Structure 1
Amino acid sequence: MKFKLIEKKPEAKGTKSFFWEPDKRFEFLPGQYLYYTLPKLEFPDARGATRHFTISASPTETPPYRLTTRIREESGFKRSLDALRIGSVLETEGPDGTFILDAGDKGPHIFIAGGIGITPFRSMIKFVLDKNLGYPMHLIYSNSHPEEIAFREEFDHYADLIPNFKLTSTVSKKDESKTPWVGLIGRIDANLIQKVASGYENPTFWVCGPPPMVDAMEKALGDLKIPGNRVRTEKFTGY
């Protein structure tokens, strides 16, 4: 498929969303991803011109299709993506991926996100809300600094207005930031997970983020004796 870039939107410090108009519509499930191939690498990247990214939009809001990612100086691909002009066209393949929320997954759901690992959960949460499914959902979302929290206003809005959606946000390096923060401080750990989970009966735990974070959460869930069939994980490797 061909995607045409129609909009760029800053989501948080270092994070942007890219909105694409497809040459043809397609169906996908919340949490799936696409492969993107840039027409040209403006900045060199030894890994080439193709990467895969989660569709951060819900199936209920597409098209356009949304790619949300952190732009890092060390990634030639990311810098080249960010340099694309509105109207640029690239090739995509997919959708693919098994880290998906189906309409039959009634929950409760506890989503545990580290950094840009929030993207599949943004798709899943919006899907449940737009479909009025009413499934109980609790998002535990960790970032290093407050200014790096993607979709912050959106999730705060949901938490204020929607009874079946709860939000627990935490930052691990508050002292390094000038942005005000009155929420939790520290990394997600077994104690925090247990506190959140105590409000739900047999929840499914979803974990997404950098590999070290996902590994730590798997250990924490194991320490809490959560059965493996109630844990779903996805690792976002460096791009």
Structure 2
Amino acid sequence: MATYTVKLLAKEPVAQGTMAFHLERPAGFEFRAGQAFEIILPGGPEGEDGSHAFSIVTAPHEAELMFATRMRDSRFKRALGALPLGAELNIDGPFGSLTLHKNPARAAVLIAGGIGITPFMSMLRSAAEQQSQHKLVLLYSNRRPEDTAFLAELQALVKRNSRFHLMATMTDMGHSQQPWEGSTGIIDSAFVQHAIAGLDAPIFYVSGPPALVEAMRNTLVQAGVDEDDVRSEEFFGY
């Protein structure tokens, strides 16, 4: 890994309480879809308050770098949100091994909860650009459409990539102000079995808070999935 100094180019909301930050991409910064980097704030202390790991949302072919995060009330998030455009910060990376397998004969089933979508955005953008032969299925759980980061882009990616299927579900529509015609239950074993019907030997990728990752591993076992076919990694992106 190496450390680079970059400028903040833009920031924008991508869901209620979730912000995306666009950074310039330094020369020589190469990464694989699904990897992460460390964000080090200017003048910040070492450790948790001064740096944080985030999955890279942008795909390797894109000219800039982007990450997204829930804007929780922490010292780091307050400092991050207060950065003006043009501010300099450091990135350290890339790192991480939650990357798509190479054999296109095996489908990829991506399972994300909330902001755990970030590494999969990079994968899906890359697959659309490269016209990948992988069959891709995304199971994406959120409370409400308002909370669902990158929902409109994911729906657009379905139209760009005929091999990509989106199965989004909302678990708290009683508190939503937006319409939703899709699924409204949790991702349980029946949901998984329906999603993978007809897929040949899929490999599963799980991303989200630690409790969700553990719960989904158990759900996949209940659905008859071999644990050796499940990949997950400590989640980057709170």
| TM-score, with length taken from structure 1 | 0.92
Corresponding residue SS for 1:138: strand
How do 1:1-239 residues align onto structure 2 when only pairs under 5 Å count? Answer: 1-41=4-44, 47-61=48-62, 63-73=63-73, 75-101=74-100, 104-106=102-104, 107-236=106-235, 239=238
Cα shift at 1:32: 0.6
Cα shift at 1:18: 0.7
Please give the per-residue CA displacement for 1:115-141, whole angstroms capped at 9, x wherever unaligned: 000000000111111111221101110
Cα shift at 1:154: 1.1
Aligned-residue CA RMSD (Å): 1.9
Residue identity in the other structure for 1:48: D
Residue identity in the other structure for 1:81: L
Any conservation in 2 of the 1:2–1:22 contact (CA below 8 Å)?
Answer: no
Aligned partners of 2:5, 2:103: CA distance in 1, in Å? Answer: 32
Aligned partners of 2:96, 2:161: CA distance in 1, in Å? Answer: 29
Any conservation in 2 of the 1:17–1:67 contact (CA below 8 Å)?
Answer: yes
Aligned partners of 2:198, 2:115: CA distance in 1, in Å? Answer: 26
Cα shift at 1:161: 4.5
Corresponding residue SS for 2:233: strand
Matched length: 234
Cα shift at 1:158: 2.1
Any conservation in 2 of the 1:211–1:235 contact (CA below 8 Å)?
Answer: yes
Corresponding residue SS for 2:78: helix
Structure 2, unpaired ranges of 5+? none
Residue identity in the other structure for 1:190: S
Any conservation in 2 of the 1:110–1:137 contact (CA below 8 Å)?
Answer: yes
Residue identity in the other structure for 2:231: R
Aligned partners of 2:181, 2:69: CA distance in 1, in Å? Answer: 26
Aligned partners of 2:130, 2:12: CA distance in 1, in Å? Answer: 25
Any conservation in 2 of the 1:211–1:237 contact (CA below 8 Å)?
Answer: no
Any conservation in 1 of the 2:39–2:52 contact (CA below 8 Å)?
Answer: yes
Aligned partners of 1:175, 1:57: CA distance in 2, in Å? Answer: 33
Residue identity in the other structure for 1:177: S
Cα shift at 1:238: 8.1
Aligned partners of 1:128, 1:162: CA distance in 2, in Å? Answer: 8
